[in-house]
Amino acid sequence: MNEASLGGPHPGNASRAPDAAHASPEPARASGEPGGLVLHATDVRKSFRQGPVTLEVLRGANLAVAGGERVAIVGASGSGKTTLLQILGGLDRPTAGRVLVAGEDIHRLDEQARGRLRNRAIGFVYQFHHLLPEFSALENVAMPLLVRRAPVAEARARARELLERVGLGERLTHRPHQLSGGERQRAAVARALVTQPRIVLADEPTGNLDGTNAEQVFALMLELNRERGTSLVVVTHDTRLAARMERILTLEQGMLLGEGYPAVEAGRRTR
């Protein structure tokens, strides 16, 4: 990982700031799916019933992400960012709406097929790491590869490489409870990236990390984006991190509003 790779947005990105969340990305990035989209969510709604009250968290969110695109999602605490990301990743069902991942309607698949699609196409970084407590860091990171029946030696070698890249080369045999909060989060990022997914959905991936470690984790995601065309959808409160994505969308009143990052940096909201 070199310093140059930690730099700002890619050349030419400044000109790419569609002003609506559902604006069509450039056809040049076509990736085999309809319209070249790796992720296409349409009119996603989610309500939670709490006794007599129905809480409408998502009220028609739209999102189209092309192969190789980087998108940040920002929004107030409780605005529904985690809820949305989990629906996009097939971890929770929407009340209404449709989510296509690599061209497949993830919520219409049975559980097994949904699991396969997730393993094949999505790397998910949870807001809270969700590492398996009884396994070591190395085993946790190798797990998605073992699930897809990769040879054990290869899975372990790849997991070690990823852990080294997030600075955990000396913590391979540690169990999650023997890692610090930031180390757990870095291991969780390594686990999400180990399969070289088509798209990474990351929920505050650097939330528990200090500046140096946040930089390291984010640099790894950017490398994957650059080298393999992995799309990134990152929920973050970190404006520096958000500014290095191509689009910044704000979740507000249950919908994703698009805006360019200068508006966010200036603390302005535009509709």
Ligand X SMILES: Nc1ncnc2c1ncn2[C@@H]1O[C@H](COP(=O)(O)OP(=O)(O)OP(=O)(O)O)[C@@H](O)[C@H]1O
**SS3 assignment, position 96:** strand
Nearer to ligand X, 167 or 207 (CB): 207
Size of site (CB under 5 A) for Mg ion: 3
Among residue numbers 117 through 146, which ones bind ligand X (CB under 6 A)?
127
Smallest distance from Mg ion to CB 26, Å:
30
Taking phi over 0 as left and psi of -120 to 50 as alpha, with beta for the rest, 262 belongs to alpha
- Gap between the Cα atoms of 201 and 38, Å rounded: 12
Q: Contact 98/41 with Cβ under 8 angstroms?
A: yes
User: How many other CB atoms sit within 10 Å of the CB of residue 224?
Assistant: 19
Q: Which residue has the tokens 């605490």?
A: 77
Q: How far is CA 212 from the centre of its chain?
A: 20
Give the binding range for ligand X (CB under 6 A) out of 16-24, 75-83, 96-104, 135-143: 75-83
Q: Is 15 helix (H, G, I), strand (E, B) or coil?
A: helix
- 159 vs 173: CA distance, rounded Å: 12
Selected binder of ligand X within 36, 67, 68, 80 (CB under 6 A): 80
C-beta closer to ligand X: residue 127 or 140? 127
- The single residue among 62, 82, 136, 213 that binds Mg ion, judged by CB under 5 A, is 82
Query: Which of these segments, 16-24, 74-82, 103-111, 112-120, binds ligand X (CB under 6 A)?
Result: 74-82
At 49, which amino acid appears?
A: R
> What is the distance between the alpha carbons of residues 194 and 119, in angstroms, rounded to a whole number?
11
Region near ligand X per CB under 6 A, out of 37-45, 48-56, 108-116, 176-184 = 48-56
Residue among 68 and 94 whose Cβ is closer to Mg ion: 94
Residue 205 is a binding residue for ligand X (CB under 6 A): no
> Least distance from C-beta 6 to ligand X, angstroms?
26
- From 54-62, 98-106, 122-130, 169-177, give the range in contact with Mg ion by CB under 5 A: 122-130
Cα distance between residue 67 and residue 253, in whole Å: 28
- Contact between 79 and Mg ion by CB under 5 A: the answer reads no
* 200 DSSP β-pair partners: 123, 232
Q: Which residues bind Mg ion (CB under 5 A)?
A: 81-82, 127
Q: Which residues bind ligand X (CB under 6 A)?
A: 48, 50, 55, 57, 75, 77-83, 127
